[in-house]
Structure 1
């Protein structure tokens, strides 16, 4: 099954000093993509850098990721899935961070599983396949 790589995986790959291509290895040969929401979160991380050197490193890493990993849009189809899932979760009193729900909806709309280090959040979404990478 194709894998939607969550922001947490990219962050962990960078923190451990691995090249962006390490994400391909984590996908175990399956097709991969990222959500436009994850792209936005990573780009926000550039703005939060605590030094010019750290900012340069993040830009280099993120631009390499964006060059290698297809970005799936949060379009009308995904928005419909998001609304449906959010409604179901709300009806059961289940809460999940909005960005995580947007990433989950993207995965569901495109038929992907989510590869994440944030299993607890994503497991709350009924019908979503979630796995944790071995890094």
Structure 2
């Protein structure tokens, strides 16, 4: 499609964390190169007050249903909703619990 792509600042942190966990110099170099490429290619969505409002609402809704998802995933979902994006993830099951969020699994389309 013709949809725009952006990355949550939380996803950026997770990618940078992956660099920190590299076990070899070769792995470190490859990860740094890949992450730098991705972070320069796509805009980064910040966490702002609008994201916080979405986050609080989603958190309360999922908590009331007993279907909480991970803290990082909750922030990513809130960011996507606040800025009008869907989420592409291999972890579609958790994100599918979030009302109104368009979720795409790259493995299944």
TM norm structure 2: 0.94
Aligned length: 108
Could you list the per-position Cα deviations for residues 57-91 of structure 1 after superposition, in whole angstroms to 9, with x for gaps in the alignment? Answer: 10010001111011010111101110111011111
Cα offsets for 1:78-111 (capped at 9, x unmatched): 0111011101111111120110110000000011
RMSD across aligned positions (CA) = 1.2
Q: Using the alignment, how far apart are the partners of 2:77 and 2:36 within structure 1?
A: 23
Q: Distance in 2 between matches of 1:95 and 1:82?
A: 12
Structure 1 runs, 4 residues or longer, greater than 3 Å off: none
In structure 1, the residue corresponding to 2:6 is in which secondary structure?
A: strand
Unaligned runs of 5+ in 1: 1-27
Structure-2 separation of matches of 1:85 and 1:75: 15
Q: Distance in 1 between matches of 2:3 and 2:82?
A: 18
Task: Identify unmatched segments of 5+ residues in structure 2.
Answer: none
Higher relative contact order (CA 8 A, sep 6+): 1
